[in-house]
Structure 1
Amino acid sequence: MTNLNSLKAIAVFDIDGVIRDVSGSYRRAIADTVEYFTNQAYRPTPIDIDQLKSEGVWNNDWEASQELTYRYFESQGQSRTQIQLDYNSIVAFFQSRYRGTDPNNFTGYICDEPLLLQASYLEALTQANIAWGFFSGATRGSANYILEKRLGLKAPVLIAMEDAPGKPDPTGLFATVEILENGSENLAPVFYVGDTVADMYTVTKARDLHPQRLWVGVGVLPPHVQETAARRDAYAETLRQAGAAVVFSNVQELTPGKIEELLG
């Protein structure tokens, strides 16, 4: 258990692209959904999806799927008012691919997500008096599946989609920090670790609203952008421009020693 009186820092982690590789699951489900709702006319590439997410407001993958579908039809000369897109149908189709069609068990793409972090890494943070938790735009069911069933964590601190407004609104980050502090008033520095522009914007907004605390944005490169050096470097630069103080190729590079170094 972390000693709250000697808390060195708080590390809050996004989940998708940081804790688990979602290139073959969430992003595949986005592509499937857009392809379905454009009647097989358009399947967005990983770069298409990254470009949308670089706008910083499409953290919700259901909304991202809808937006990409709208933009395709607009590129064909149709206005949004002409297109009969039902958001609930988009969500249902997306979930049928990502979670699967069994209402009681996950059977979809979620089952095959590679882990990007080991539980021993989190234990090392605890030993160094660094409190940790999770703030993610994923649904609670999906997030708990990866944290509890796959990683073996016991009731980790988690603020999920159902618990707070979507990023870049920092409400969920504040809620996560409040739980981790558990009444402590020493205003430990907060590191928020994410893989998207929206994650970095969340840190910037947190800093604007609570400037009395140190907020550090830590960028992590999701696996799908590391296939070529040019793409990796471009994505890292995008995260830095959005506010990342440092960018890593894997979350576990944010070691207790690196945290102390960043605190300088």
Structure 2
Amino acid sequence: MTTKAIAVFDIDGVIRDVGNSYRRALADTVEYFTNNAYRPTSIEIDQLKSEGIWNNDWEASQELIYRYFVAQGKSPEQLQLDYKTIVTFFQSRYRGPDPDNWTGYICDEPLLLQPSYLDELTQAGIAWGFFSGATRGSANYVLTQRLGLSSPVLIAMEDAPGKPDPTGLFATVSQLENGVEGTSVVLYVGDTVADMYTVSKARELKPHRTWIGVGILPPHVQETAARQEDYAQTLITAGAAVVLSNVEQLHSDQIQELLQ
């Protein structure tokens, strides 16, 4: 069967709900390193991520810590923040204190799709894989242990530069095409401005094929209609062709519509 299209999925906010895991660990980290003086709200975290360059939650944590102290009149040079210490603390909350036996927030992440959804794409001739800023361990945890996928195509944090650099997206597509560059339309399915910017950059660098950004509203923005609308508009402004409230709404018929 020839591939009609290629769907590449981000993981956090698309495949799993990270509102009470990654985002909670981020808030915990900022609170800890500001000596309990400041805990960013969910909206403040979204505002930072809407800048399009804070896809890495460790770097986002550090940036919010810096911004808090700069607002207090301190210079970044005075702070002497140690990035590795920030990462270690973050991971102790997200994965748990024991790196070999995870007991942290990651264990309670709700799944946002079922394996049957991916089976339906395969049956419709749509190839699929994953490009995520999550670590390979964290990404594999949800893909193989939680969803039961067998050796899915995955480009993770360790494999490529961070988004919006499209290198990882290109690598995912290359694996799905077995290294032979084709002309299938590529959809990148993500929940952040950085994800949509990644599609725009892919289009600039490889204009010979069609790249489509599909925005997904992460669960944490769906609590009120106003916030949902604001977030959807942010994704559209960043380049999303369509914004959906759940990834499973991107079924094969919807993909076919986007290809026309």
Same fold (TM over 0.5): yes
Match of 2:205 in 1: 209
For residues 92-121 of structure 1, the C-alpha deviation after alignment (integer angstroms, 9 at most, x for no partner) is 000000000112111100000000000000
Output the amino acid matched with 1:239: L
1:169 maps onto 2:175 in alignment: no
Match of 2:232 among 229, 236, 249: 236
Which runs of 5 or more residues in structure 2 are unaligned? none
Output the amino acid matched with 1:36: Y
Three-state SS of the structure 1 residue aligned to 2:91 is helix
Moved over 6 A (4+): none
TM-score of the superposed pair, with normalisation by structure 2: 0.99
Residues in 2 aligned to 1:105 and 1:117: alpha-carbon distance in whole angstroms: 25
Q: Superposition RMSD on alpha carbons, in Å?
A: 0.7
1:79 maps onto 2:75 in alignment: yes
Match of 1:257 among 247, 253, 259: 253
Residues in 1 aligned to 2:179 and 2:45: alpha-carbon distance in whole angstroms: 40
| Structure 2 contact 174–181 (Cα < 8 Å) conserved | no
Output the amino acid matched with 1:146: V
Which runs of 5 or more residues in structure 1 are unaligned? none
Residues in 1 aligned to 2:152 and 2:221: alpha-carbon distance in whole angstroms: 28
1:19 maps onto 2:7 in alignment: no
Output the amino acid matched with 1:100: G
1:220 maps onto 2:216 in alignment: yes
Match of 1:45 in 2: 41
Residues in 2 aligned to 1:231 and 1:124: alpha-carbon distance in whole angstroms: 31
Using the TM superposition, give the Cα deviation of residue 10 of structure 1 relative to its aligned residue in structure 2, in angstroms: 0.1
1:198 maps onto 2:191 in alignment: no
1:248 maps onto 2:244 in alignment: yes
Match of 1:55 in 2: 51
Using the TM superposition, give the Cα deviation of residue 183 of structure 1 relative to its aligned residue in structure 2, in angstroms: 4.1
Residues in 2 aligned to 1:140 and 1:172: alpha-carbon distance in whole angstroms: 13
> Alpha carbons of 1:184 and 1:36: their partners in 2 closer, same or farther (altered >3 Å)?
same
Match of 1:95 among 91, 101, 117: 91
TM-score of the superposed pair, with normalisation by structure 1: 0.98
For residues 6-37 of structure 1, the C-alpha deviation after alignment (integer angstroms, 9 at most, x for no partner) is 11000000000000000000000000000000
